[in-house]
Chain A
Amino acid sequence: MAFTNLQIRDGLKENDAEIFRYLYKTYGSMIVGYVRKNSGSDQEAREMVQTVLLEFWTAVREDRYQESGKLDRYLYILTSNTWRDELRRRKVRRTDELDTNQMLVADDHEQSIAMAIVKDRRIEAMHHCLQQLESPCDDIIRLYHLEEVNLQDVAKQMNYDYNNLRKRIFDCRKKLKKLVDDFLQQTPLTIADI
């Protein structure tokens, strides 16, 4: 089933899975072809498909995409720019690999968030597991990490003793880490493995 540009725009704003599926099935091959043709590996092409579609999702959400334009041309240019940025970024970046559970910490604030999410599957896993985290851990983590409230203020807001809260936050992070590790073990497929 084909969708109009307007349906695609509205569907992406609603996170409609059928629209994502349509985009993936219709334009996935084009993106793979572009990256392979421009010296990208299979794995890079795979990552780029997801990155480009997430960049497109972002453009739609931010009203940067005008639905009256031609979608194939838009996605082609988006692919080309995203891939060019990735190659340019690789040339200049200073990356420090930390050999811990094959994790990578990149001192790289130029990487697009879409690319960061595609490359680091823990982000998706964390998104899933944060929803499973129970109170008060969810509040503590939200206040401290998202809203960047300092621990003394978090303690005040939640009526905790400061030292107790310091211990608590470590426990909460530990709990979250366990949930994330379990989640990743249950779903070992990465985009690179498909």
Chain B
Amino acid sequence: MEQINYTLQIQIQAFVNGELQANRRAGLLAQAAEDSTIADELAFSQSLANALKNRELAAASAILSGIIAEEGFPPPPAPTNDTWWTAGKGWLLGSILIVMMGAGTFYGLTQYQTGRAARAYNQQLVQNTLQPLENVLLLAPANSVASDLLKRGMDAYDAAQYTKAAQALSTYCEQMPDPAARVYLGIAYLMDGHAKLAIGPLLEVSQAAELPVREAAGWYLSLAYLAENEVALAKKTIMQLPPDGLFGPAALDLLAKLQKK
């Protein structure tokens, strides 16, 4: 370490602080790749900066490391269909499965490939179609705690922070029977890549609320079904939307694409 000159040390400091210009960063990394002393110093400085600037997080991490060492590593969750096998009836089911698999290997493989392609196609369709609904439907609730949650949720929604939005809106929806908020909750889940979680609130609203909330719920519900590869349910939901409504043209277009496939 004594061989590291002061100028280089300053450069390393700037590197770990993220203050070095891109070309100088690349230059320093290239130097480090050829000189193990510089590499060592760079790695050491980076760890030191992280340890100093994140002392509390490092302390929490140390506690967790200790616990993991004591407790051992957690096993993944047990499969849910264990009961058949553990009850001793599995042999029968197993035999049937083996015969079926033997007879249908080729068919199964073909179906698997087709299924994967269809799933990818559906995901792509959702990705191309999904747009967040503008924040226009909400009514102000009377309860002030709930109001704060709703505001936080919708602020996060407007800022495209969908994880945060879903968290605040789901808590709000547990307290308030607000169909519009449920629609935004469903959309936040969808935008965040959690189509499965989106289905519950959207389904509830699509069956009960009045237009236009019901229509919005139906549209996003169809996208959630599609994202989950539930094509028949997606089509059925789309067909219940009014063709001259807010989502009519987009719904017709999506339906055409699904039927063409």
Contacts and interface: CB of A to CB of B under 8 A. Distances in A.
B171 A69 contact: yes
Size bracket of the A interface: 35 or more
Interface in B4-61: 4, 6, 13, 17-18, 25, 29, 32-33, 36, 39-40, 42-61
Of B61, B63, B67, B69, the most chain A CB neighbours within 10 A belong to: B61
A36 B79 CA distance: 13
Contacts of B164: 64
Contacts of A15: 56, 59-60, 63
B50 A77 contact: no
B177 interface: no
Interface residues of B, number: 62
B208 to A, nearest CB: 23
B1 interface: yes
B65 interface: yes
Contacts of A148: 13, 17
Given A68-B171, A123-B47, A114 B57 contact: yes
A48 to B, nearest CB: 11
| B interface secondary structure, majority | helix
B40 A120 contact: no
A170 B73 contact: no
Contact of A127 (B29, B58, B76): B58
B43 A100 contact: yes
Interface string A86-123: 00000000001011110111010100011011101011
A148 B150 CA distance: 42
A84 interface: yes
A46 B73 contact: yes
Given A117-B54, A124-B62, A191 B68 contact: yes
Contact of B67 (A24, A103, A117): A24
Nearest to A35: B76
A184 B192 CA distance: 39
A177 B1 contact: yes
Interface of B: 1-2, 4, 6, 13, 17-18, 25, 29, 32-33, 36, 39-40, 42-69, 71-77, 149, 163-164, 166-168, 170-171, 174, 192-194, 197
Given A36-B76, A176-B48, 6 more contacts: A25-B74, A64-B164, A99-B39, A123-B58, A130-B51, A141-B52
24 contacts: A17-B63, A20-B67, A24-B68, A32-B75, A49-B74, A54-B57, A54-B64, A66-B168, A84-B193, A101-B43, A113-B54, A114-B57, A122-B47, A122-B51, A123-B54, A123-B61, A126-B51, A128-B62, A148-B17, A166-B6, A173-B1, A173-B48, A191-B65, A194-B72
Interface of A: 12, 15, 17, 20-21, 24-25, 28-33, 36, 45-46, 49-50, 53-54, 57-58, 61, 64-66, 68-70, 73-74, 77-78, 80-81, 84, 96, 98-101, 103-105, 107, 109, 113-114, 116-118, 120, 122-124, 126-128, 130, 141-142, 145-146, 148, 151, 166, 170, 173-174, 176-177, 189, 191, 194
